[in-house]
């Protein structure tokens, strides 16, 4: 994402092929089942396995999305409305986004990446990653944030759906066929938690303990 320090995350997708082994009671009598006994790619066995994997990936991401929405949403709500314009100015913090801008940027990126994952055009007003100019107050920003998580939830729900297109996004390092629905939604979550860390810092600078860190 532009103007954001990224920690490079490598996702390794490992494909494993199973070799069926038939063995008698004596170890020396182990024999390999003939190749014809293993379903070839495209047969119903592999299709069921692929579908199961997509469902497991979807369910796992839905858990992380719910966690992220809870933590980030509660942190955004915890900051008083009159502090949404707060931004530290000393040292390396000079020129950084305000708290409200951090939240709105996070939400805009959610919308942009979710749209790409669903094969949609980027939402109006979110293309510059700053979010719509008309979204200004705390209440408006919170609504925009919640809407972005709902958008991302729809993208995650579409994992495994071969009838829904996927587009690459200009804000993503993934290009062309590198952009998959799973990768784009994971990218959105990584980015969201990156900004959650910044939100936590802003909250504590204002004497507010993030809800997720409270006893």
- The position carrying tokens 């303990």 is 209
When comparing pLDDT for 48 and 76, which is higher?
76
Average pLDDT over residues 153-176: 91
Q: How far apart are CA 45 and CA 70, in angstroms?
A: 38
Per-residue buried b or exposed e for 106-138, using 16+ beta carbons within 10 Å of the residue's own CB: bbbbbbbbbbbbbebebbeebeebebbeebeeb
Average pLDDT over residues 66-83: 97
Torsions phi, psi for 53 (to 5 deg):
-60, -45
**pLDDT for position 125:** 83
| 21-65 pLDDT tens trace | 232 233 333 333 334 343 444 445 556 666 667 788 899 999 999
Dihedral angle over CA of 204, 69, 111, 135, nearest 10: -50
Asked if the model's pLDDT at residue 151 lies above 80, the reply is yes
Q: How far apart are CA 150 and CA 144, in angstroms?
A: 10
Name the band, by pLDDT with cuts 50, 70 and 90, for residue 176. Answer: confident
Asked if the model's pLDDT at residue 128 lies above 90, the reply is no
Q: Which of 114, 84, 90, 94 is nearest to 199 (CA)?
A: 84
Average pLDDT over residues 66-84: 97
| 5-25 pLDDT tens trace | 333 333 333 233 332 323 223
Asked if the model's pLDDT at residue 69 lies above 90, the reply is yes
Name the band, by pLDDT with cuts 50, 70 and 90, for residue 164. Answer: confident
Name the band, by pLDDT with cuts 50, 70 and 90, for residue 91. Answer: confident
The predicted model scores a pTM of 0.75
């Amino acid at each position: 994402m532009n103007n954001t320090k990224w920690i490079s995350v490598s996702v390794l997708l490992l494909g494993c092929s199973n070799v069926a082994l038939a063995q008698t009671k004596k170890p020396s009598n182990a024999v390999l089942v003939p190749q014809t006994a293993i379903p070839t790619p495209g047969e119903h066995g592999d299709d069921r396995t692929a579908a199961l994997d997509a469902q497991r990936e979807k369910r796992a991401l839905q858990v992380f999305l719910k966690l992220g929405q809870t933590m980030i949403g509660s942190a955004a709500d915890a900051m008083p409305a009159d502090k949404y314009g707060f931004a530290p100015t000393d040292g390396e913090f000079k020129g950084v986004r305000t708290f409200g801008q951090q939240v709105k940027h996070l939400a805009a990126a959610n919308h942009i990446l979710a749209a790409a994952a669903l094969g949609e055009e980027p939402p109006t007003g979110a293309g510059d990653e700053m979010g719509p100019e008309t979204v200004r107050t705390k209440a408006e920003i919170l609504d925009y944030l919640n809407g972005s998580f709902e958008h991302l939830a729809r993208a995650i729900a579409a994992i495994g759906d071969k009838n829904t297109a996927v587009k690459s996004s200009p804000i993503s390092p993934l290009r062309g066929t590198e952009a998959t629905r799973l990768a784009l939604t994971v990218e959105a979550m990584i980015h969201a938690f990156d900004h959650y860390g910044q939100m936590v810092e802003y909250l504590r600078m204002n004497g507010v303990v993030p809800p997720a860190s409270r006893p």
